[in-house]
Amino acid sequence: MTSTDAPAPAPSDRDVVLDDLATAMIELLHTYGSIKAKVTGPQADANPVFLLAKLVHDGPRRSGELAATLCADPSTVSRQVAALVKQGLVERKADPEDGRASLLVPTPSGVDRVEGHRRRRGRAIAPIVADWAPEDVAQLARLLQRYTVGLDEHRDAIVANMAGHLSAADHHEGDHR
């Protein structure tokens, strides 16, 4: 009997809960994605409002730094930034540390756009939690924020784990051909 023929260990209660959490998060993302596609259309580029919100929340950034932070393709970010500049929501300013480079800075109109977007998002989810206790809504928000911070902190390990899993799956598919 080889190690690949050995039976898998029985999942622990924690493994089951972690699987349930991962499944719930994936279902949440798919549901949100399908709702977003109905609003923006299936061929829509990533929403530049998210990029604008990142600038409002985190402060001015260079385009390359913003792309790296968002794990986005630099050309996509560049295209979105150009659209935001054209709309008067972002302006390019000389980087005080390197005058040859520019920082992307949200304009007052850009800040207003993000605030309006935040209010609309809040109104959109209000019916979902309308019958929840306020402390339950606050706890969900706190836990999701904590999860998101952890996701960002462990991003490289998660990518390596998922990429390794995909490579192993590809290898096993080859065994069955």
Where do the structural domains in the chain lie, given as residue ranges?
A: 39-128, 129-177
Q: Which residues of 103-117 are buried (b: 16+ CB within 10 A; e: fewer)?
A: bbebbeebeebbeeb
Task: Return all residues near 105 (Cβ < 8 A) that are at least 6 apart.
Answer: 55, 60, 90, 91, 92, 93
Residue 96 has φ and ψ, to the nearest 5°, of -65, -20
pLDDT for 104: 96
Predicted confidence (pLDDT) per residue in 12-47, tens digit = 888 899 888 888 888 888 888 788 777 766 555 556
**Confidence (pLDDT) at 81:** 94
In angstroms and rounded to an integer, the radius of gyration of the C-alpha atoms of the chain is: 21
Given a contact cutoff of 8 angstroms between Cβ atoms, the answer to whether 80 and 59 are in contact is no
CATH code of domain 39-128: 1.10.10.10
Q: What is the mean pLDDT of residues 119-124?
A: 91
Instruction: Name the E strands within the chain.
Output: 90-95, 98-106
Local confidence band at 139 (pLDDT 50, 70, 90 cut-offs): very high
